[in-house]
Structure formats: structure tokens, C-alpha cells
Structure 1
Amino acid sequence: MKISTFKAFFIDALKSLRRNKTISLASAITVSATLFIFGIFLLLALNINENVNNVESKIEIKVYLKDDVTLFQQRDIENKLKGSEGVKEVVFESKSEALNNFREQLKENKGILSGYDSSNNPMQNAFIVRLEKPEFADSASAAVKDMTGIDEVVNDRDLINKISAVSNTIRWAGVVLFIVLIGVSLFLIGNTIKLTVFSRRREIGIMKFVGATDWFIRWPFIIEGVVIGLVGAILSNLTLYYSYKLAFSAITQQLITVPLVSPAYVLGSMMWEFILAGISIGALGSILSLRKFLAV
């Protein structure tokens, strides 16, 4: 396609957008809303995955010992744990260490434990078992759970499974909603193009009569749809960025240790994804709406 021809198509598309500015704006806002809502679900899924990976990297088993466990039984349990598949490290935590660690976790609320000392320590002696991969949690737990001297085996694997289930639910809900909103966007963009085509149906008929190809007729309308999709994509990305930046700041101030996707990711990687999606939606809406008018 020659540059001069494309320029003519582009100018024609801009004139058409100006003539139908109300419905064109409505179409752009719909595309923007579609991508914005999808972006929210995408960020939720990414942040949940980030936290799942973070928890998985720190996953451990706690093997709590009975108060009357003998030194021989304790050593036997430790050797069994060290010999289990996927076990990276086994660390003994005494009752006093457990109480001190719990106080540190409570931070400014550690006064809750002020009445406890070595004489009435409510904590238990335990082995902390660190794993190479979360998949080894169940087998390591099963290897020692029935041994004499063990009170309880706590496995974080159930927490990982629950978080993963929530992540999958959010991801699928986002996909379903995205498909529905794409349908609405295509409908509105299609109607915008149809109004333009209907007002120029005589001109299109003459162009076809003198031998203009379908694609020659299509291009101004496709460019019109692409511009609508592009504007909607940029609007949605900027709105998502500033909304997420506020949420990110509020969450990280309250929960310092929670890993979250950086707001810069929205303006970086997601911007190009949004632009590609917006252009695709706009072009597809235009092509679909023209089929009836070009079938002459």
C-alpha cells in the first residue's frame, strides 16, 4: 500500500470518527472498561501467584514433640526426617526458642506473652523441616507422623493448595468476564462502523461499481476501529496504573513483607498487551460489521 493512499485512508477515518464522535467515544470507553476489568483480574492472579511462589519457597513442616519424649526417640525422629526425600534441612527448636520467636513475630503486641516464662512456657519442642520443593511435604510428613514421641505434624501444603485454588478461580472468572466484555465492545464498535457505512452506502456502491476491491473499501473503516481500540487501550492502561499504584502503596505500607507486582509492570509489559488487544478488538469489530455491506 502506498504511503499517500494510507494517509488518505487515515484522514477519511478521522473525519468519520469526528462525525460519529458520541458513539465513537462510547465504543472507546467500552473497550477501556473491558481491558480495565481484565487488567484487574490479571493483576490479582499475578499477585496471588507471586505470593504462592513466595510461600512455596519458604514452605516447611513443623514436627511438634511430646513433653515426655526421650532423647533416643528425639534422635530417631531427627534421623528419619533427614533421610526423607526432598528434605533440605532439619532444625531443632526448643520451647524457649519457640517462645522468643513468637514474641518477635508479635512485635508491638508481644506484651500478650508477658506472663509466660520458662516455668509455664506454653510452646512445644519441635523440629522445623525445610524442603527442596513443596511436593515433598506430604511424603516427609507421612514418614514420621506415627512415630513415638510426636504430638503433631503441621504441613503448610494445605495452605498452598487453597491459595492455588483461589488463584485459578480468579483467573477463570477474569477470562469469562473478558470474553463477555469483548462481545459488548465488538457490538458497539460494529455499530459505530455500521452508522458510517450506512451514511456512505451510495458512495460504497459506486466504488464497487467502478471496480474498487473490498479491501480498498475496508481500510478506512478498519483504521477507524483500530483508532477506537487504541484510544480505549491507552485509557484503560493509564486508569489501571494509577488505581493499582494507590492500592500498591496502601498495601505495602500495612504489609511490608507481602510481595506484589510492581506498578511499573502495568505501564511496561501490560501497556503493549493492552494496545495489541485494543487494536485487535477494533479491527475485528470493523471487519465483522462490513461483511453485510460488501456482500453485493
Structure 2
Amino acid sequence: MIINTFKYYILDALKSLKRNITISLASAITVTITLFIMGIFLILMENVNLGMNNIQSQIEIKAFLKDEISSEEQENIGQELKVISGVKDIEFEDKAKALEKFSEQISEDNSSLLDNYSSSNNPLPNSYIVKLENPEISEQVISSIKNIDGIESVGTDKEFTDKIVSISKNIKWFGLSLFILLTAISVFLISNTIKLAIYSRRREIGIMKFVGATDWFIRWPFIIEGAVIGLVGAVSANVLVYSLYKIVFIKINESLLLVNLISPSYVTQTLQWQFILAGVVIGGLGSSLSLFKFLKV
């Protein structure tokens, strides 16, 4: 009995889609456009977050060691650094390596500054390069490092770190706000388009109510119809987003080799299911909500 009833709902929904093909296509196109815009925005935010994460992963703290400490004390300091909360990894940099890196960083005009220095009179100290799990906790990590015996000083680009943290927070809040706004606009547009489809069948709904059909008996075919429209729109939007992003991805990788972007497979492996779920839910929910007015007969 339940199977037959559900079969009736599906067949009735498919007949309605065929009978109202123009409005159904308009609804599907609305879903496609709104989810396409949403998809472009999500990919943009994913790439921005990826770029920010790459920058954040390069933020480091340098713990400079006192010259008089022994090798054993040096190793103990490394062990203490590893267990500090928020420290992702540490790397030891000896005096020779520090001098080599410094000579590579200074300009040719200032290269004479190092003419009188060599391994025998290297003025640079040994140090540990500390990488963080999250730049937002840099202050706590620096405070913990300063309390370790054998640490001469701690070096960090605080201004740069603070700026990166601030930009990252602003991007997240902006992304969340825009996502909520786009979702609200999408639901509004899709619901109103579906409402037009239901409005054209208001007489049919009134007759069904008059002969004693329950609200849910009337509602289910419309919900299924809306879900099918949402599914078609979601698949179409996914194909468009994938095609466009793949072209952009290839072009950028050809011209900007150092730019790291998320793979187009993200659209087919992750975004596709989000699109389908969003399309089906919004389509079905939009149909159900739009029916309330017409069921009050």
C-alpha cells in the first residue's frame, strides 16, 4: 500500500513536470544560476583559504641560543620546544647555516658587510626555527620559549604575523556573511519560481481539497517535483562550475607556476554532492513552503 502510494506520488510529479515543462525549466534554470554563483563563490573562498594557510604555515619563530650552552643543553632545549602547546615542528639551524642564509638574503651592495666574517668568527648564534600550528597563538608560544633556560632571545615578525591573522579572520567572517546572504537569496528566488508553478495549478489543488484529499497527499507530489527540479539544476550548475573552473585552473597554472590552487576534482568529488543535497533540499522545501497559501481552502 505504501509502495503504491509513493509510486503514485512519483508518477504524478513526473506528469506535472511534463505538463508544466516551461515553468519547470524556468525553476531548474533558477536553481542552476543560484547554485552556479554559490559554487564560484565557494571555490574562490577555498582558494583564498588555501593561500592563507600556505602563508600561515611559513610563519616562524626563531629561538636564539646562548653561546656558552653545551650540546646536551642544546638538545634539552629542543625537547622542551617540541612539547610547547601550539608548536607544530622545530628545526635546528647552526651558526654556519645562519651565516650562509644571511649572505643570500642581503643585497650585492651590502655584501661587503660579511667580508671579515667566516666560520672562525661567525657572530650569528645557533637557533631553533619553531613552526606553529596556528599563528594566532604566537604570543603564548613566544612567552613559553622565553621561560626556557639557555634561550638568549626570541625573534619574530610580530607585525606581519598580526596582519596575516587579521586578514584571515576578516576573510572568514566575510565568507560566512556572503554565504548566508547568497543562501537566503537562493532560497527566495527558487521558492518564488516554484510558487509560480504552483500558482498555475491552484484550481487543481482546490478541487483536490474539495473532494477530501489530505494536505500531505497533495503536498508530496509537489515536494518530489521540487526535488527533481532542484536535482536537475544542481547537476547543471555542477557541470558549468567544473567546466569554467577547469579552464581557469589550466590557464593560471600555465602562466603562474608558483600559484597553488585546489584541483578541479574538488568540484566533482566534494562540491557535486553539496550541490545535489542543496538542490534537492531547497527544491523540496521551496515547494512545501510555497504550498501553504494554496492549501488554506
Q: Which residue of 2 aligns with 1:240?
A: 241
Q: Which residue of 2 aligns with 1:129?
A: 128
Pairing of 1:266-285 with structure 2 (within 5 A): 266-285=267-286
Kindly provide the amino acid, as one letter, of the partner of residue 188 in structure 2.
F
Q: CA RMSD in A?
A: 4.2
User: Does 2:294 align with 1:290?
Assistant: no
Select 2:147's aligned residue among 132, 143, 146: 143
SS of the residue aligned with 1:20?
Answer: helix
Kindly provide the amino acid, as one letter, of the partner of residue 43 in structure 1.
E
| Structure 1 position 252, deviation (Å) | 8.4
Following TM superposition, the consecutive aligned residue runs of length 4 or more in structure 1 with deviations greater than 6 angstroms are 73-77, 144-147
The 3 A distance-change label for structure 1 pair 223 and 98 is same
Pairing of 1:1-296 with structure 2 (within 5 A): 1-2=3-4, 4-20=7-23, 23-44=26-47, 46-48=49-51, 50-51=53-54, 55=57, 60-63=60-63, 71-72=67-68, 78=74, 81-82=77-78, 84-86=80-82, 91-94=92-95, 97-98=97-98, 100-101=100-101, 112=108, 115-116=111-112, 118-119=114-115, 125-131=124-130, 134=133, 137-143=141-147, 153-155=154-156, 162-249=163-250, 250=252, 254=256, 256=258, 260-296=261-297
Query: How far apart, in 2, do the equivalents of 1:191 and 1:245 lie?
Result: 32
Q: Deviations over 1:89-122 (max 9, x none)?
A: 563433x534543677x7xxx985795585166x
TM (norm. structure 1) is 0.72
TM (norm. structure 2) is 0.72
Deviates more, 1:193-202 or 1:127-136: 127-136
The 3 A distance-change label for structure 1 pair 222 and 61 is same
| Structure 1 position 203, deviation (Å) | 1.5
Deviates more, 1:182-191 or 1:265-274: 182-191
Whether the 8 Å contact between 1:81 and 1:140 is mirrored in structure 2 is no
Unaligned regions of 5+ residues in structure 2, if any?
Answer: 84-88
Query: How far apart, in 1, do the equivalents of 2:270 and 2:25 lie?
Result: 31
Whether the 8 Å contact between 1:35 and 1:274 is mirrored in structure 2 is no
Identity of aligned residues (%): 37
The 3 A distance-change label for structure 1 pair 48 and 216 is farther
Unaligned regions of 5+ residues in structure 1, if any?
Answer: none
